[in-house]
Amino acid sequence: MNILIVGMGYVGVTTGLVFAELGWNVTGLDTDTMKIQELSEGKLSFYEPGLDLLLVKHLASQQIRFTTSLATAIRDNSVIFLCVGTPSDKDGSADLQAIRGAAKSIGTYMNDYKIITVKSTVPIETNRKMVDWIKESQNHPYPFDVVSNPEFLREGSALYDSLNPDRIIIGSDNEQAANVIASLYAKLTAPIFKTTPKTAEMIKYASNAFLAAKISYVNELSRLCETLEINVSDVTTAMGMDHRIGPHFLRAGIGYGGSCFPKDSKALLFTAKEQKIELRILEKVIDINDTQSTHFLNIWEQKLGGFNHKTVAILGISFKPDTDDLREAPSISIIQQLRTKQANLRVHDPVAKLPAALLSKKVQQFDTIEMTLQQCDAIILCSEWKDYIGADWAKLRASLNDFFIFDGRNMLNGKEMKDLGYYYFGIGNR
């Protein structure tokens, strides 16, 4: 089967390469000519472990190719996956410009029956609206089906997640179209859950919002633990031993970031408001996340005796380890808050780069941890890269001016750090 993937971001490239690995003939399309040129040369425009090798492998096997040529790509492929971005609009709703644009192009250029599969995260009823958008741009009423197939991969482990999904959701009103999409995944062992398009859309939002809720729940609890001098990690570790609760997504920290939890929770809330239904838990989930880094920054400010004119190292700026993605990263909000407090910032990340607009004489990024820590009064850890967990903290101490470590991800062993002579403070009395 010939598969076209529209949108060569984190999801599109991963999906394309996984389908190539499963033996399908894949074309990747994007409107960004630079991205397409780089992909054709075997270069990724973002960091994601394992994808670089798979890209080189499947360029060589000719199982995948890349293009900007819409008309030809649409005509040559019978199954089209949409993996374009659906970012937050100003009012919190999902911006569907890219989805609409792609629908219009498909309608314009299609020449026979197509299955259009929406992998992007889209609000409830978008799959139904897609049908209208495609029909509106058709010159001839070629038949087609729209199928919802939301994606659940995580950045940093995108390849593993796509090859080992917990479940595959297929939302379609046409059983035959659903079966075609299911057949593409036949080599994977995951259960396939077939449902209607709008239920599939809801499953995606409900899953992300639930995971965000787990995090905000433990983050709010971490504030109480901090005050009561109870170690939140001990609490959540023991909570997680209960099978009904489970150990995942219970790590307290400076808040969830990324391109999805923040935007998807807001988009679901927007949908609820449109329906005049209150989602009070979700409102609080967002509110707790928006205030979590400030809550702990204020506590750390007191421990340090103020950030004013202090030199602070920020370690790990990506929203989580093993990605270069800075979208909604808590580190960015922390950097902005510390700048208004007149701190000088020295920043490090193993792969992510601060945007030029954030760099200045007072905010500088360095290539090594050693250089970053020179003459710093405090260190704030924002994402739990292995480089920091495994660092030689005994040696690094020599570079510092003062020895405060504020661990925003509870990634280091507090007792060991104290034994090394650091003043160690985590989240929730760690």
Ligand X SMILES: NC(=O)C1=CN([C@@H]2O[C@H](COP(=O)(O)OP(=O)(O)OC[C@H]3O[C@@H](n4cnc5c(N)ncnc54)[C@H](O)[C@@H]3O)[C@@H](O)[C@H]2O)C=CC1
User: What distances in angstroms separate CA 373 from CA 88, 121, 341, 377, 409, one per listed residue?
Assistant: 36, 40, 19, 9, 19
- DSSP three-state, residue 226: helix
187 marked as binding residue: no
* Min dist. Cβ of residue 122 to ligand UGA (A): 12
Q: Kindly state the number of chain residues that form the binding site for ligand X, as judged by CB under 6 A.
A: 26
Residue 425 corresponds to which tokens in the numbers above?
Answer: 């403070």
404 marked as binding residue: no
Is residue 74 within 8 A of residue 113, CB to CB? The reply is no
Give the one residue of 39, 122, 169, 250 binding ligand UGA; rule: CB under 6 A.
250
**Using rule CB under 6 A, residue 373 touches ligand X:** no
**Using rule CB under 6 A, residue 6 touches ligand X:** yes
Identity (one letter) of the amino acid at 6? Answer: V
**Using rule CB under 6 A, residue 5 touches ligand X:** no
Q: Catalytic residue at 260?
A: yes
251 marked as binding residue: yes
Residue 303, judged by CB atoms within 10 A of its CB (0-12, 13-18, 19+), counts as exposed
**Using rule CB under 6 A, residue 404 touches ligand UGA:** no
**Between residues 8 and 124, which has the closer beta carbon with respect to ligand X?**
8
Identity (one letter) of the amino acid at 342? Answer: Q
User: What distances in angstroms separate CA 197 from CA 117, 191, 201, one per listed residue?
Assistant: 10, 18, 6
Q: Which listed option, ligand X, ligand UGA, none, makes contact with residue 171 (CB within 5 to 8 Å by class)?
A: none
Strand partners, 373: none
Footprint of ligand UGA on 188-217 (CB under 6 A): 208, 211, 215
Catalytic hit among 83, 225, 260, 382: 260
Give the one residue of 8, 232, 250, 304 binding ligand X; rule: CB under 6 A.
8
**Using rule CB under 6 A, residue 120 touches ligand X:** yes
**Using rule CB under 6 A, residue 407 touches ligand X:** no
Tell me the H-state helices in 309-392.
330-340, 369-373, 386-389
* Min dist. Cβ of residue 105 to ligand X (A): 7
**What is the distance between the terminal CA atoms of the chain, rounded to a whole angstrom?**
53
**Using rule CB under 6 A, residue 320 touches ligand UGA:** yes
Nearest to 329 by CA among 344, 343, 319: 319
Q: Who's near 290: CB < 8 A, 6+ residues apart?
A: 255
**Using rule CB under 6 A, residue 253 touches ligand UGA:** yes
Segment near ligand UGA (CB under 6 A), from 148-156, 177-185, 351-359, 371-379?
A: 148-156
* Min dist. Cβ of residue 15 to ligand X (A): 9
Phi, psi of 221 (to 5 degrees): -60, -35
Binding site for ligand UGA (CB under 6 A): 121, 151-155, 208, 211, 215, 249-251, 253, 256-261, 319-320
Sites of contact with ligand X (CB under 6 A): 6-12, 29-32, 35, 83-86, 98, 101-102, 120-121, 151, 153, 155, 259-260
Annotated catalytic sites, by residue?
260
